[in-house]
Structure 1
Amino acid sequence: MYEIVWQYDETAPFADDGPADAAAARHMLRQGNDAFARFFDPHRAPGDLTRHIVRVSAQDVGISGKPGEAPTQEPFAAFLSCADARVPVELIFGQQANDLFVVRVAGNVLGDECLGSLNYAVEQLGTVRLLAVLGHTGCGAVSAAVDAYLTPTGYLGMAANRPLQAIVNSLMAPTRGAALVLTAAHGESVKTLPGYRQALIETTVVLNAALSAATLVHNFHDALGERLQVSFGVYDLRHRTVGLPGADGEWEVGLFQPPTSQEGFSAFGHRVAQSRLVREWLAP
């Protein structure tokens, strides 16, 4: 049996101090995701109870203070995440209520409404230390964009579905970029491999998150520093970890700062195209 418990203990002292800077915020999120990923350890005795406790402060759930008084909003990180139901942001980072300000939309596309919401978090909520973009493997919105890219005639079927078309249109730039880096890394013949579609999806997922994060760097440039930074990562649905392909091609756990130059994006795209995440789909 597995239990994930939010626990409030009125008899125990509770320190609810937020992180002092962006590095500390990333560290807290990394620790929370590490604990979540380890929680479902398959190497345990049958019938054992495995319990993960997330301590909750009275103030953040509206218990303390004057009767009927709402708690103050004090998140330490603001996320742009996909609306996919398999990516519950607070849960996978092991955080409680009032820790994260989360904007969720299919494909974690950065539209005006999302940007406006994140702008509110930065300007009005002085506790925010990190702006983060979170993509995830096997994204349905990205899959739709990849299918429209691979079969342009199928895109015509979206003509009557303007909301879906808007999301797919926003994902076309990273999809095109992903196709280019896959060809550059593996040659033109990569398009004929059975796993090409899935490899293109996963490459697009990573590049889309990187592009959105780089856009946030541009938009919030004047507010960024040690106390506030932009990071991004991808949630691996299979292993429950947030990370990116590392320099050695293996999965590196954590949230990372995005490339912000053309040369940086080119090098990053090549790294993703050569990573295990992508190569496992291209292998015979």
Structure 2
Amino acid sequence: MTEEVVWEYDHELPYDDDQPRDAAAAGRRLLEGNATFARFFEPRPNTAPVRPILHLSPRNVGIGGAPGEAPTQAPFAAFLSCADARVPVELIFGQQANDLFVVRLAGNVLGEECLGSLDYAVERLATVRLLAVLGHTGCGAVTAAVDAYLSPAGYLGLAADLPLQAIIGRLMPPTHSAAIALAAVHGPTVVARPGYRQALIETTVMLNAALGAAVLARRFHDALSDRLQVLFATYDLGRRTVGLPDETGEWQPGLYAPPGEQGELEQLGRRLAASRLVAELL
């Protein structure tokens, strides 16, 4: 069945200041946008063609109020996301130009440059209500880190590749945490299971996002309130939804608060390791 998306642009549409007033509202808007995005690709009966119409104002496409005038930067959320081309942050959350301030780096690792950009978003852009770290399933950077973790001899071959080594090095702590969690839940012999490598990759993806968000929560602790929060999630490339396995082990769409201390991180790791997502890989 053919499906068509129509974008209608009206340069005379008035500016609509519908910015989220607090972090909770910002989170709801993001999750509603992701739900709409995911539903669009769900199988449907072979009935009349679906033809959603998206109405765009000048603000939606980053145009100012007068010809030749640039708009004021006014995102309501700032993201640290992976550079993976399959994870276009604005698109998967159903947002437009000037809605999101996005910093993208392989493995969504939090280096000095990324932190400097997010510092700017928090300190200079008064409209930002949410900081979020977004990982994704099947991450190539995490896969490289896991392979280096499982075969240290191979990691030595990266010694001269300093840029790649810098990314993989920052992914080693969540990889180690994921390995500990998998052993705690499934026993020390889990390393011998055929799907261990893939299970370690996906557990690391989720813990890496959680750790990144935990660092941001500490960095911006004094600025956090109902009007600014730090959350994290994983984008499932297959489901096309943003979320995390819940306490029952099932995938639950959402954005989540990061662990605040070591015990909470360990508890999260065990929860993720026990999830259906990971168990099915093993």
TM range (shorter): over 0.9
**CA displacement at 1:60 relative to structure 2:** 4.4
Q: Which residue does the alignment assign to 2:85?
A: 85
Secondary structure (helix, strand or coil) at the match of 2:51 reads strand
Q: Which residue does the alignment assign to 2:57?
A: 57
The one-character-per-residue Cα deviations of 1:71-97 (angstroms, maximum 9, x if unpaired) are 110000000000000000000000011
Secondary structure (helix, strand or coil) at the match of 1:126 reads coil
Letter of the structure 2 residue corresponding to residue 223 of structure 1:
A
Q: Which residue does the alignment assign to 1:42?
A: 43
How far apart, CA to CA, are the structure 2 residues paired with 1:140 and 1:16?
A: 39
Distance 1:62 1:239, change over 3 A: closer
Say yes or no: does 1:237 pair with 2:248. no
The one-character-per-residue Cα deviations of 1:202-240 (angstroms, maximum 9, x if unpaired) are 000000000000000000001000000000000000010
Q: Which residue does the alignment assign to 2:140?
A: 140
Q: Which residue does the alignment assign to 2:9?
A: 8
User: Is the 8 Å Cα contact of residues 54 and 95 (structure 1) preserved in structure 2?
Assistant: no
Letter of the structure 1 residue corresponding to residue 16 of structure 2:
A
Distance 1:59 1:13, change over 3 A: closer
Task: For 1:259-270, list aligned pairs within 5 A.
Answer: 259-270=259-270
How far apart, CA to CA, are the structure 2 residues paired with 1:5 and 1:167?
A: 40
**CA displacement at 1:64 relative to structure 2:** 4.8
Distance 1:72 1:60, change over 3 A: farther
Q: Which residue does the alignment assign to 2:255?
A: 255
**CA displacement at 1:103 relative to structure 2:** 0.2
Q: Which moved more, 1:56-65 or 1:194-203?
A: 56-65
Query: How many residues are matched?
Result: 281
The one-character-per-residue Cα deviations of 1:26-47 (angstroms, maximum 9, x if unpaired) are 000000000000001212317x
User: Is the 8 Å Cα contact of residues 178 and 200 (structure 1) preserved in structure 2?
Assistant: yes
Distance 1:19 1:278, change over 3 A: same
What is the percentage of aligned positions where both structures have the same residue? 66
User: Is the 8 Å Cα contact of residues 244 and 251 (structure 1) preserved in structure 2?
Assistant: yes
**CA displacement at 1:63 relative to structure 2:** 4.3
**CA displacement at 1:62 relative to structure 2:** 4.8
User: Is the 8 Å Cα contact of residues 62 and 69 (structure 1) preserved in structure 2?
Assistant: no
Q: Which residue does the alignment assign to 1:273?
A: 273
TM-score between the two structures when normalised by the length of structure 1? 0.95
Letter of the structure 2 residue corresponding to residue 192 of structure 1:
A
How far apart, CA to CA, are the structure 2 residues paired with 1:49 and 1:159?
A: 54
How far apart, CA to CA, are the structure 1 residues paired with 2:58 and 2:150?
A: 52
**CA displacement at 1:9 relative to structure 2:** 3.0
User: Is the 8 Å Cα contact of residues 249 and 274 (structure 2) preserved in structure 1?
Assistant: yes
The one-character-per-residue Cα deviations of 1:87-139 (angstroms, maximum 9, x if unpaired) are 00000000011000000000000000000000000011100000000000010
Q: Which moved more, 1:2-11 or 1:191-200?
A: 2-11
Secondary structure (helix, strand or coil) at the match of 1:50 reads coil
Q: Which residue does the alignment assign to 2:126?
A: 126
> Where in structure 1 are there 5+ consecutive unaligned residues?
none
Distance 1:84 1:5, change over 3 A: farther
**CA displacement at 1:279 relative to structure 2:** 0.4
**CA displacement at 1:66 relative to structure 2:** 2.7
Secondary structure (helix, strand or coil) at the match of 1:2 reads coil
User: Is the 8 Å Cα contact of residues 13 and 58 (structure 2) preserved in structure 1?
Assistant: no
Q: Which residue does the alignment assign to 2:218?
A: 218
**CA displacement at 1:23 relative to structure 2:** 0.3
Q: Which residue does the alignment assign to 1:110?
A: 110
After TM superposition, where is structure 1 displaced by more than 4 Å over at least 4 residues in a row? 10-14
> Where in structure 2 are there 5+ consecutive unaligned residues?
none
TM-score between the two structures when normalised by the length of structure 2? 0.95
What is the CA RMSD across the aligned residues, in angstroms? 1.5
